[in-house]
Amino acid sequence: MIEITSANIEKAINKARQTKPFVKVIEFRLYSVTNKTTGATYEVKFTKINNTKYAECNCKATVICYHIGASIGAHIVLAEQMHTATA
Ligand SMILES: [Zn+2]
């Protein structure tokens, strides 16, 4: 599990913009990210503990990777929708 910071997530989002992987929602906080070129699919999971956000991906990277960068966009939209739904 890696802590998400504004610096590391920005890098990951930029990388995701170049790679443009396909993101599928498995459930809230769980996403499947597929590299359209290689077909490799990885699972990304988001966790929030005491207002600190964490993410993990089952790829080889030990940093906030572009899979996390790609899925956080979908995650933010879903989180907002859920917030609106419960408000
Ligand atoms: Zn990854």
Contact between 54 and 3 under an 8 Å Cβ cutoff? The reply is yes
pLDDT, tens digit (0-9, with 9 covering 90-100), for 34-78: 999 999 999 999 999 999 999 999 999 999 999 999 999 889 888
Distance between Cα 68 and ligand 1 center (Å)? 6
Which DSSP letter does residue 31 get?
E
Distance between Cα 87 and ligand 1 center (Å)? 33
What does the alpha-carbon distance between residue 68 and residue 19 come to, in Å, rounded to a whole number? Answer: 12
Q: Which residues contact 67 (CB under 8 A, 6 or more apart)?
A: 16, 21, 33, 42, 44, 57, 59, 61
Longest alpha-carbon distance in the chain: 41
pTM: 0.90
Provide the pLDDT for residue 77. 87
